[in-house]
């Protein structure tokens, strides 16, 4: 399928009259502000806050759930992990040294916590986040782990998807269960130790 007619949110526009300039930004800003203020995100609320009509909103977003998911993820960056050189160090650099950069300088911790809460409340939001955003950001880690297997650094029988869940899961545990902040040094030390343990299990003897 061609990407023609697809905007920078990844949502395919519907045929019809051209889009008015600035509508996408106003809709996204309205949804993001409602989320950050702990207010319900409804079609009526987004229309009122953005000044955009319901028809214009639905031309841009196939569902309110997809809009909420995009607003919850707004400010995050896709991780870039080189597949050349020292693969383990490349992952460490991406996950720890450049962690604020990957998370996004404009992505507040409050929005992450709202994202977790709304995802638990509404499984459709959770699934939309996974399909459109989280799953896409895992691509870099998939590629670097595959490179490790191909180069004989990692065991050929590792389950790459499960390994990524294992590595990423410790970060969420610090925030969700321990209640730590993004930049808590002790939490990052535990995450680093967990990564080292996972790497030893994945590495060739």
Q: What is the CATH number of the domain that holds 141?
A: 1.10.357.10
Residue 38 belongs to a domain = yes
Residue 143 belongs to a domain = yes
Work out the burial of residue 27: count CB atoms within 10 Å of its CB; fewer than 13 is exposed, 13-18 middle, 19 or more buried: buried
Tell whether 100 and 185 lie within a shared domain. yes
CATH code: domain of residue 51:
1.10.10
Greatest mean pLDDT among 32-36, 70-74, 88-92, 174-178 lies in 88-92
Tell whether 129 and 187 lie within a shared domain. yes
- In the 8-state DSSP scheme, what is residue 38? T
Residue 72 belongs to a domain = no
Domain that holds residue 31: 23-62
Quote the CA–CA distance of 107 and 101 in Å, as a whole number. Answer: 10
Residue 73 belongs to a domain = no
- Is 69's pLDDT higher than 60? yes
- pLDDT tens track for 9-55: 444 444 444 456 588 899 999 999 998 888 989 999 999 999 999 99
Tell whether 55 and 142 lie within a shared domain. no
**Tally of domains in the chain:** 2
Rounded to an integer, the average pLDDT of 175-199 is 92
User: Rounded to two decimals, what is the model's pTM?
Assistant: 0.74
Residue 5 belongs to a domain = no
Nearest-5° angle of CA 196, CA 144, CA 197?
A: 10
For residue 6, what pLDDT band results from cuts at 50, 70 and 90?
A: very low
Question: For position 193, what pLDDT does the model report?
Answer: 96
Tell whether 49 and 117 lie within a shared domain. no
Greatest mean pLDDT among 80-84, 94-98, 119-123, 193-197 lies in 193-197
- pLDDT tens track for 117-144: 888 888 999 898 888 888 888 999 999 9
Nearest-5° angle of CA 204, CA 198, CA 117?
A: 150
């Amino acid at each position: 399928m061609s990407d023609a007619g697809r905007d920078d949110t990844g949502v395919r526009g519907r045929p019809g009259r051209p889009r008015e300039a600035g509508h996408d930004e106003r809709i996204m800003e309205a949804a993001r502000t409602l989320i950050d203020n702990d207010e319900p995100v409804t079609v009526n609320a987004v229309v009122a806050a953005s000044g955009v009509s319901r028809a214009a909103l639905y031309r841009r977003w196939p569902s309110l759930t997809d809009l909420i998911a995009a607003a919850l993820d707004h400010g995050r960056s896709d991780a870039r992990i080189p597949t050349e050189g020292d693969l383990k160090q490349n992952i460490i650099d991406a996950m720890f040294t450049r962690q604020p950069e990957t998370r996004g300088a404009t992505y507040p911790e409050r929005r992450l916590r709202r994202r977790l809460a709304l995802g638990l409340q509404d499984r459709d939001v959770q699934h939309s986040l996974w399909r459109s955003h989280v799953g896409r950001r895992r691509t870099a880690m998939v590629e670097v782990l595959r490179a490790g297997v191909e180069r004989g650094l990692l065991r050929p029988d590792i389950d790459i998807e499960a390994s990524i869940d294992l590595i990423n899961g410790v970060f969420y545990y610090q925030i969700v269960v321990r209640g730590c902040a993004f930049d808590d040094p002790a939490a990052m030390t535990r995450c680093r130790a967990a990564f080292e343990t996972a790497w030893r299990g994945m590495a060739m003897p």
